[in-house]
Structure 1
Amino acid sequence: MSKTLYLMRHGQTMFNLRGKVQGASDSPLTELGISQAQTAGQYFKKHNIEFDNLYSSSSERACDTLENVAPNIPYQRSKGLKEWSFGILEGESVDLLTAMWDNSDLFGNRLVAFEGDSKEDVETRLNQTLNKMMEETVGSTVLAVSHGTGIQAFLRTLIGDTAASEVFIGNCHILKFEYDNQKFKYIEKIDPIEELK
């Protein structure tokens, strides 16, 4: 049976606003971040999209996002949906991370020296988590809230580094996938704010 996954990035956080590296660390949503999440919820309502299962990264910013998208609906937390760990760079200026970024491979293995994850670590974790989630879910429509770089790493396993590098994943942007026969197919990116203008 074909299923649909909506994979969404969390709303804007205090670290996003202040230009700090977040990763496995956490910071709360800003007022704008809460508004972005509520707008995503309005997008789903407008398009009559109802979810059979809801999942969130165990990070507070992702859980708070999901709770604003779908208030008072039970969901499952998953450490497998957490962001790429940036090791000792977390909490520092995002400029340090930007200097290590390369469109061809995100961060490759360059963060391992700073006690962070490798690209392969993140790809493997996200693929295993999302495949298991879709296999075990009852129903056909799933929403999962995760993180920008982790989502980008997952997308690259499906459509390649070059094509995925063209897909900007902003706060509360949603990537839609079809899941069938244990395989994901990327369908589209949705920007709820643009869609509701």
Structure 2
Amino acid sequence: MSTKVTFYIARHGKTILNTLGKVQGWSDSPLTHEGAKVAKYLGAGLSDIQFSSAYCSDLRRTHETINIILEHHRQKSVKVVEKTEFREVCFGSYESDPTNNMWKDAALYLQYKSSKDLLRDVFDVKKNITYEQVANVIKKLDELGMAEGFDEVEKRTQKALLEIAKKESKGNEEKNVLIVAHGMCIKFMLQNLGGRDLVTDDLGNASVCKVFFKDGKFKVESMGDMSYVEKGKKLIKMK
């Protein structure tokens, strides 16, 4: 029997490229004032949870976010470990282009009239279209041959998640682990672990996906939970 590990997997705060509506995979940009503020709220909202370890990707926006979270969580003793495996999906030639262009191209390839129609079906569990098909289409359309397919991202992210889970599940005490990563990579990592049935919209900046690990198995409890941010916002306003 292994010890239960609870993962709190958060998306980074809003960035300049997010604000400009640009594709942001391996390309990077700093948090906006709003992005830093929501990370602050998340830190306060998680303040009653003691983390045994903390991880982020190797991109600046996750570093900035997790440092703000831990600063306002008041648990500065936790060392942040960088994991390249938690990097966002690479979108190849679409990097830093308008996001609408990429989604429009994917929609047309999949015979949708608009990106809005495509996204509507992606978030409908009754439909057969998922992020897996969309990612693989973007990989096909990428003129540079650099874009990652679904399987590549799922494999690297789940490998890192399992390594951490096995490490943290040793011993007799239950553990809580904080991970700050990226919207698409989180969805790809958790889709086939049970996340697909829980996603009804894009993961908001600083939203949390809660995942349990016990006896070698993962269970996705929630996806895109903004309640920790709202809780932190109230706590900070009360001070």
Query: TM-score, normalised to structure 1's length?
Result: 0.92
Q: Deviations over 1:4-60 (max 9, x none)?
A: 100000000000000000001101100000001110000011xx1010000001100
Which of the pair is proportionally richer in helix?
Answer: 2
1:1-197 mapped onto 2 (5 Å cutoff):
1-45=3-47, 48-71=48-71, 72=76, 73-99=78-104, 100=106, 102=118, 103=122, 104-106=129-131, 107-113=134-140, 114=142, 115-137=146-168, 140-159=175-194, 161=196, 163-189=197-223, 190-191=225-226, 192-196=228-232, 197=234
Secondary structure of the 1:7 match is: strand
For 2:218, the aligned partner's letter is: F
The count of residues paired between Structure 1 and Structure 2 equals: 194
1:11 and 1:36 in contact (8 A); partners too = yes
Per the alignment, in what secondary structure is the counterpart of residue 202 of structure 2?
coil
Identity within the alignment, %:
27
8 Å contact from structure 2 (residues 12, 61) kept in 1: yes
Q: Which runs of 5+ in 1 are unaligned?
A: none
Letter in 2 for 1:26: D
Gap change, CA 1:195 and 1:98, over 3 Å in 2: farther
Distance 1:110 1:44 in 2: 37
Larger Rg: 2
The runs of 5 or more residues in structure 2 that have no matched partner are 108-117, 123-128, 235-239
In structure 2, distance between residues paired with 1:172 and 1:150: 14
Alignment check: 8 A CA contact 2:40 2:68 kept: yes
Give 1:177 deviation, angstroms.
0.8
Query: For residues 151 and 101 of structure 2, what CA distance do their matches in structure 1 show?
Result: 21
Q: Counterparts of 1:144 and 1:36 in 2: how far apart (Å)?
A: 16
Instruction: Decide whether the 8 Å contact of 2:10 with 2:206 is kept in 1.
Output: yes
Amino acid at match of 1:42: A
SS at match of 2:68: helix
Check the 8 A contact 2:45/2:230 in 1, yes or no: no
AA in 1 matched with 2:181: S
Q: CA RMSD in A?
A: 1.7
Deviations 1:83-109 (A, max 9, x none): 011011001000122222651221231
Partners of 2:135 and 2:95 lie apart in 1 by 17
TM-superposed deviation, 1:168: 3.4
Larger displacement relative to structure 2 (66-75 or 11-20) = 66-75
